[in-house]
Amino acid sequence: MSTTPVTVTVTGAAGQIGYALLFRIASGQLLGPDTPVKLRLLEIPQAVKAAEGTAMELDDCAFPLLAGVDIFDDATAAFDGVNVGLLVGARPRGAGMERGDLLAANGGIFGPQGAAINAGAADDVRVLVVGNPANTNALIASKHAPDVPAERFTAMMRLDHNRALAQLAAKSGVGVGDVKNVTIWGNHSAKQYPDIAHATIGGRPAPSVIADDAWVTDTFIPTVAKRGAAIIDARGASSAASAANAAVDHVRDWVLGTPEGEWTSVGLVSDGSYGVPEGVISGFPCVSKDGAWEIVQGLEMSEAAQAGLAVSVAGLVEERDAVAELSLI
């Protein structure tokens, strides 16, 4: 076992996702069974007491890998020395809202946190933004951290990706582990484009296994894209355990690598790949090698996929322009 603990800062630690996430991190599911972790929890002052309660429960789990828990209401202190930053703390949407409607309420959170990361993070810092609208919040944080490479600020598309795997597995009657290489392009919004063109099911091309284009267009894509709203409708609260699970999957693959021959979906700063304007944070097919995400290049995109990505990217550009207008970037 390595003896140097990895410092993981989680914002919104007293919230729903925080409660589902912290115990998974402390048990070793984020960074592997040999890596001790130090948790630094950031909350707003009113929620610090609740975070303290969660920290008491973390103690009571007696996790061998947990090397300490500290609680903060100040971002600069919370991100001091951070190796992995999970930016969860933000308001969730309610029924009838789109995630982009949260920009005015949540955008202001991410500039100061980006600046705090810039000021005090470890050189290898990796950031995952979960708080919505995740892609544009990640952009805001990144813009406030000029000394941190932009590709270290990622937005969570993994929940959409996992949703897509589950829908395809159910439709084709296989286990989820048999479905690989789906891509969620664009924004983590209802306008994302879930793409099965290069996916495989049991090692065979997904489009020919499914063999039902109408189902893909009329059922699969809208089900995945609108799943967040369906969960809010059913639960009366937005996804929490599945979001925490996706965050664990994202960071684990980033740090430990994606399995050979498989990619996942990551909200990553665009380098212009697939015609996505440089600088916006868009969902791409990505592999992680040597601890860094790389966009999978050279995938042929159907006309429908190109059109779907263009619509989604237009939403990202609109959000970027809106936060520029609000002087958030």
Does 99 sit near ligand OAA (CB under 6 A)? yes
99 is in an annotated binding site: yes
> Which candidate in 144, 161, 188, 250 is catalytic?
188
Q: Cβ of 223: how many Cβ atoms within 10 Å?
A: 16
DSSP state of 100: G
Q: Is 196 in the site for ligand OAA (CB under 6 A)?
A: no
The residues facing 66 across adjacent strands are 37
Q: Which of 6, 17, 159, 328 binds ligand OAA (CB under 6 A)?
A: 159
Whether residue 188 lies in the annotated active site: yes
User: Interacting stretch for ligand OAA, rule CB under 6 A, among 49-57, 227-235, 279-287, 317-325?
Assistant: 227-235
Chain position whose Cβ is nearest to ligand OAA: 228
Q: Which of 239, 258, 282, 288 binds ligand OAA (CB under 6 A)?
A: 239
Query: Nearest approach, Cβ of 290 to ligand NAI (angstroms)?
Result: 26
> What does the longest C-alpha to C-alpha distance in the chain come to?
54
- Contacting range for ligand OAA; rule: CB under 6 A; set: 30-38, 231-239, 249-257, 270-278: 231-239
- DSSP for 175-192, please give it: -GGGEE--EEEB-SSTT-
Q: Binding to ligand NAI by residue 8, rule CB under 6 A?
A: no
Strand order in the sheet with 200-201: 179-180, 200-201, 204-205
Q: Is 231 in the site for ligand OAA (CB under 6 A)?
A: yes
- Residue 13 is labelled as binding a ligand: yes
91 counts as binding ligand NAI under rule CB under 6 A: yes
Contact between 24 and 32 (Cβ < 8 Å): no
Residue with the two structure tokens 């995400």: 293
298 Cβ neighbours under 8 A, 6+ residues apart:
none
Q: Does 132 bind ligand OAA (CB under 6 A)?
A: yes
Distance CA 213, CA 24 (A): 38
The site partner of 231 among ligand NAI, ligand OAA, none (C-beta below 5 to 8 Å per kind) is ligand OAA
N- to C-terminal Cα separation, the chain: 41
The DSSP-derived string for 37-95 is EEEEEE--GGGHHHHHHHHHHHHHTT-TTEEEEEEES-HHHHTTT-SEEEE--SPPP-T
Q: Which of 171, 166, 139 is nearest to 155 (CA)?
A: 139
Minimum distance from residue 231 beta carbon to ligand OAA (Å): 5
Residues 225-264 as x/- pattern, contact with ligand NAI by CB under 6 A: -------------xxx--x---------------------
Token readout for 189 is: 């919004």
Rg (the chain; Cα; Å): 19
To ligand OAA, the closest distance from the beta carbon of 190 in angstroms equals: 9
Binding of ligand NAI at residue 24 (CB under 6 A)? no
Tell me how far, at minimum, the Cβ of 256 lies from ligand NAI, in Å: 21
Check residue 143 for interaction with ligand OAA (CB under 6 A).
Answer: no
Between 55 and 157, name the residue whose CB sits nearer to ligand OAA: 157
Q: Does 309 bind ligand NAI (CB under 6 A)?
A: no
Nearest to 71 by CA among 14, 4, 129, 126: 14
Residue 211 token pair: 């063999």
Residues 39-58 that bind ligand NAI (CB under 6 A): 42-44, 47
Interface positions with ligand NAI (CB under 6 A): 11-12, 14-18, 42-44, 47, 88-93, 109, 130-132, 134, 156, 159, 188, 238-240, 243
Instruction: Tell me the catalytic residues.
Output: 188
Interface positions with ligand OAA (CB under 6 A): 92-93, 99, 132, 159, 228-229, 231, 238-239
